[in-house]
Structure 1
Amino acid sequence: MDIDCLPFKNTGYFSELICDYLDQKEELQSFYNRFPTLENFKGQIEEKGNNFPDENREILYNSLQNQYANTKTSKKTQEHIKQLKEPITFTIVTGHQLNLFTGPLYFLYKIVSTINLTTQLKKKYPKFNFVPIYWMATEDHDFDEINYFNFKGKKLQWNREASGAVGQLKTDGLQDVFDAFSNAMGSTKNAETLKRLFKSAYLEHETLTEATRFLANELFGETGLVIVDGDDRHLKRLMIPYAKQDIFEQISFQKVSESVENLASVSDAYGIQVNPREINYFYLIDGIRERIIASGDTFTLADSEKSWTKNELLKEIDDFPERFSPNVIARPLYQEVILPNLCYIGGGGELAYWLELKTMFETMKVPFPVLLLRNSVLAITKKQHGKLDKMNIPVADLFLKQHSFINKKIRNISNIDIDFSPQKQVLEEHFKALYEVAERTDASFLGAVKAQEIKQKKGLDNLEKRLLKAQKRKLKDHVVRMTEIQNELFPGQSLQERNLNFSELYLELGEDLIPSLIKALKPLELEFTIIKTA
């Protein structure tokens, strides 16, 4: 397996905000705590260690024991859960939705990044323990985002009516998805393994939460990964004081709104990732997850007649904390309250909204974690790499938009020089002399000279485009082959990892897939990884 890397900003697939964060742009430094370097984790360990109560560890341990009661757990995961009771143990967290059969390929990259960072930290700080955590987004309610996965260009979808938190959904109806998946896969050894995995996860577990826990544990259990479900009454008791500050004092709304405004003042290009609401909690009960809204002296639900006075809602939070579900703004705080966490690993979109949250954390006196961009990967098979070599296409060129990719290659292989830059330079020299003549004679003549220069440059551009178009026709076979390989590796002109499911790589690599990723991915190098499989 050959491994190469590319700076994230050279791929063209990452936002200006994330690229500036990776470059440690000075104007962004107030929006995060510590930049992700091995050395910076020393201060993060000290800060979190001084601000995480031992009683929270006991509650976390007991909740995990309950959550894992019906799960066959590896010795390493059992050890990690026990270590969480110790004040020298810290976590590294990534979170992900309960996508059907893991959804996009980057699910694996998130978790491998998390596992590998704990390994690096243990080598650097051997006196401490570091536990990789996968936070299941069991309380999300957007079923349409998670009810499918792509396999060999086809969308395999779970069709059913759904409402409320997706983690509580029954797995009824997934037999049809399994049948379609099974028929599309063939009967190789690796295909049979994938069939058993899907069947065991989704046809032999009652809820989507249970199915996802089983699946993630099967894939990563031997690495010691610990899977956390935040939809837990005992864990949510720890959230109560923070939920009250959000709902009754609107601290989250005030502080995040300020941060959004401050981020926008740094650059118009950043945009807003997530807008805070006045109340950042849902009410979760009996298959519904509805927004809580302040309405004068009462509190109501967005799509329900249910209402409370302030005192009634205070009592509801104290008596039934499990009924209060944090949204995208409040969930990160909840996570950091219940876990002895040092670092959150996420994609570009996730880190963009985390950068809005620091002042909210500071106001609520919760340490803000290190933010690390997860590893991104382009996996190229031996066959695909052979095609690239035959056409002499550098991997970096594959990241270009398709028209630029084609144009660059045609210019390189054409036996005619299609670049008219030298002619344009000569033209500019001629017009420079004309501008000097105009200035010495009649300044009003300058506009006519400028118009003529623009016209002639445009004429050269048009000639260049026509010549390029003619060469594309002449080299049509080459254009077809190069676009085919780019479309294979960038389906839908998007990153492979955002479209493919892990099963396509598993069919080729089998049980070597995850060990190979663990060997290849370096989370703190902060570069896009290109893997050429053997």
Structure 2
Amino acid sequence: MKIESIQWKSSQPLTEDYIRRYDLVEALFEYNPQDVTSWERRAGWLDRERRLQADRGRLAEALRQFNTEIGGAPQALQAVDLLGDERTLCIVGGQQAGLFTGQALVIYKAVTLIRTAQIASARLGRPVVPVFWIAGEDHDFDEVNHMYYMSQDAQVNKIKLDHPSGVRSSVSRLAISPEQWEEALEQLDASLMPTEFKADWMGSLRAIAEESRSLVDFFARMMARLFGSRGLVLMNADDPRLRSLESAMFHRLIEEHGPLQAAVLKGKDKVESLGYASQVEMQQRNANLFVIDGGERILLYADEASDGFTDRKRERSYSRQQLLDWADSAPERLSNNVMTRPLMQDYLFPVLGTVLGPGEIAYWALTREAFHRLGMQMPIVIPRMEFTLLEGTVQKNMAKYHLSLDDVLCRLEEKQQEWLREQDALNLEDRFGQVKTQFKDMYQPLVQLIAGVNPGLGKLGDTNMTKIIEQIEFLEHKASDAVRTQFDASLRQFQRIGASVLPLGKPQERVYNVLAYLNKYGTVWLEELLDSELEPDGRHNIVYL
């Protein structure tokens, strides 16, 4: 397997500058990840100045219970035990629990966590544990209830679960029925080609489904199977055992919601002053917390009149004391939003670095002032490794049509049309062009002549000429279509190249699920990524399978 690293411009200007021109955005972050001294400085701050933190012993016990429940490998449980050691640091990153792990980028985030922890541990000479934060508290079911795959005819197809209740609740609390699992697994089975690995994968997935009440359960068990032996520690952000550890932090977030929101808005102003757009919609009243009420997850807003909180429409209200009481007695009723999750992450874990995708880097840029407000520091922000898998058949077809990777990424349609023109032995485009030119040259003087007799005849002549040209072009299109049918097989190959590398016009990792590749090639290629010398340097990696 060969890996080629290329520059692939990020869709987020702020992230692009963070990776390529850090000096432009250094006011928004704490550490430059490319500066080797950042690792020692961050570790030193955690050792000497980290004050606001959860109890390590209780944290390790909660994680041990969860990782045992999901079938965690001995290596993962050993990594959990290391968290009890004050010298141990963490590399943390996470994602929502997508169906069958969702987009492939989720898998690459786990690869980045593991590789970065290995690199950091070697640099610092101390234990560094990779932790995957499963965003089980998230309530956007439509964002996680599906996966995409490429069909045999190179179409992008979708497997989807229907919402089990319709209630806007955390994904970890939405029960998926055995019938729903079976329907999704049947669709997945039909989508996967017969290979030496298929029976094992389908058997494992059916066994996981039998043990899984929710998408979070399934996701955690599948990730444990893929990465547990590499020491990846998994956590569910909606785990009641972790919630009980977060009480003190929820107290701070409730008591200081006003100053914290002011700090976030200050961060937004700083981002915009540097010429970037804010990645998070904000209001002055944002409390940056959710509450679970009647099974529904509700975003809180400050109510200036009562010094309490309401929902967006002011239909439900909660006093400050009520929320503080819940923080003590029922912390599972509270959860973080996108702005306070980074703070809670650093409260729970000694975070040396956090692995983020392009969009996440852009919104984390808003949080530095909020970290400082609580006497904390933003950790090292590490760009998630990006990958595109190039299968052998795709490579072969690219070579057949003399297509470079840049051609495929930037001008595949143009190259396809160019190839078709080269196959046109009849030179139809030029010949039809000549006919239209000659016809106009002969017909235009005649129209002008009769217009001199009667202006109405001139207009009729112009209309007649246009219709004749349209008929010639109609015949040209029909002739071109006839030529194209001679090359249907080649055009399907062009289509497959495009659908493989840029499905729906997006990077492969942001669309397809990884199971099709695991089914075709096993896990060897994934193990090779984990054993490679790759570093999270912001470059995009092309993997030639």
When the two structures are superposed, what TM-score results if normalisation uses the length of structure 2? Answer: 0.80
Q: 1:36 aligns with which of 25, 33, 38?
A: 33
Equivalent position SS for 1:349: helix
- Greater shift, 339-348 or 200-209, is seen at 200-209
Output aligned runs, 1:60-209, within 5 Å.
60-126=59-125, 128-152=126-150, 153-159=156-162, 160-163=164-167, 164-172=169-177, 173-209=180-216
Other-structure match for 1:256: 264
Asked if residue 274 in structure 1 is aligned to residue 280 in structure 2, the reply is yes
Distance 1:184 1:483, change over 3 A: closer
Q: 2:349 aligns with which of 323, 339, 362?
A: 339
Deviations 1:271-325 (A, max 9, x none): 2211345211111255211122333214233478543333333223222222111
Distance 1:303 1:187, change over 3 A: farther
Distance 1:183 1:473, change over 3 A: closer
Asked if residue 15 in structure 1 is aligned to residue 12 in structure 2, the reply is yes
Deviations 1:422-473 (A, max 9, x none): xxxxxxxxxxxxxxxxxxxxxxxxxxxxxxxxxxxxxxxxxxxxxxx9xx99
CA distance in 1, matches of 2:335, 2:521: 39
Other-structure match for 2:295: 287
Q: 2:498 aligns with which of 455, 479, 486?
A: 486
Asked whether the 8 Å contact 1:133–1:227 carries over to 2, the reply is: yes
Other-structure match for 1:495: 507
Q: 2:402 aligns with which of 388, 392, 395?
A: 392
Equivalent position SS for 1:497: helix
- Greater shift, 503-512 or 70-79, is seen at 70-79
Other-structure match for 1:359: 369
1:41 Cα deviation from its structure 2 partner: 0.7
1:16 Cα deviation from its structure 2 partner: 1.7
Asked whether the 8 Å contact 1:104–1:501 carries over to 2, the reply is: yes
1:474 Cα deviation from its structure 2 partner: 12
CA distance in 1, matches of 2:215, 2:49: 34
Q: Match of 1:7, as an amino acid?
A: Q
CA distance in 2, matches of 1:529, 1:279: 40
Distance 1:145 1:348, change over 3 A: same
> Which protein has the larger Cα radius of gyration, Structure 1 or Structure 2?
2
1:346 Cα deviation from its structure 2 partner: 1.6
CA distance in 2, matches of 1:133, 1:413: 54
Other-structure match for 1:265: 273
CA distance in 2, matches of 1:312, 1:96: 31
1:198 Cα deviation from its structure 2 partner: 2.0
1:489 Cα deviation from its structure 2 partner: 1.8
Asked whether the 8 Å contact 2:290–2:335 carries over to 1, the reply is: yes
Equivalent position SS for 1:501: coil
1:140 Cα deviation from its structure 2 partner: 0.3
Other-structure match for 2:321: 311
Other-structure match for 1:426: none
Equivalent position SS for 2:287: coil
Equivalent position SS for 1:315: helix
CA distance in 2, matches of 1:481, 1:70: 46
Equivalent position SS for 1:17: helix
Distance 1:401 1:294, change over 3 A: farther
Runs of 5+ consecutive residues of structure 1 not aligned to the other structure? 417-468
Distance 1:132 1:261, change over 3 A: same
Distance 1:479 1:244, change over 3 A: same
1:248 Cα deviation from its structure 2 partner: 4.2
CA distance in 1, matches of 2:416, 2:482: 13
Distance 1:166 1:85, change over 3 A: same
Asked whether the 8 Å contact 2:42–2:379 carries over to 1, the reply is: yes
Deviations 1:217-256 (A, max 9, x none): 1111110110012224453355445434444442332112
CA distance in 2, matches of 1:56, 1:251: 26
Deviations 1:476-518 (A, max 9, x none): 6577754542233211111111111111111221131320221
CA distance in 2, matches of 1:245, 1:409: 64
Deviations 1:507-533 (A, max 9, x none): 221131320221347233321000101
CA distance in 2, matches of 1:370, 1:412: 52
CA distance in 2, matches of 1:99, 1:486: 25
1:106 Cα deviation from its structure 2 partner: 0.9
Distance 1:24 1:62, change over 3 A: same
Distance 1:474 1:99, change over 3 A: same
- Greater shift, 305-314 or 202-211, is seen at 305-314
Asked whether the 8 Å contact 1:131–1:226 carries over to 2, the reply is: yes
CA distance in 2, matches of 1:400, 1:138: 37
CA distance in 2, matches of 1:398, 1:303: 48
1:208 Cα deviation from its structure 2 partner: 2.7
1:51 Cα deviation from its structure 2 partner: 3.5
1:74 Cα deviation from its structure 2 partner: 1.9
* Identity between Structure 1 and Structure 2 (%): 22
Distance 1:401 1:329, change over 3 A: farther
Asked whether the 8 Å contact 2:91–2:131 carries over to 1, the reply is: yes
Q: 1:211 aligns with which of 212, 218, 222?
A: 218
When the two structures are superposed, what TM-score results if normalisation uses the length of structure 1? Answer: 0.82
Other-structure match for 1:457: none
1:192 Cα deviation from its structure 2 partner: 1.3
CA distance in 2, matches of 1:31, 1:360: 12
Asked whether the 8 Å contact 2:249–2:347 carries over to 1, the reply is: no
- Greater shift, 380-389 or 68-77, is seen at 68-77
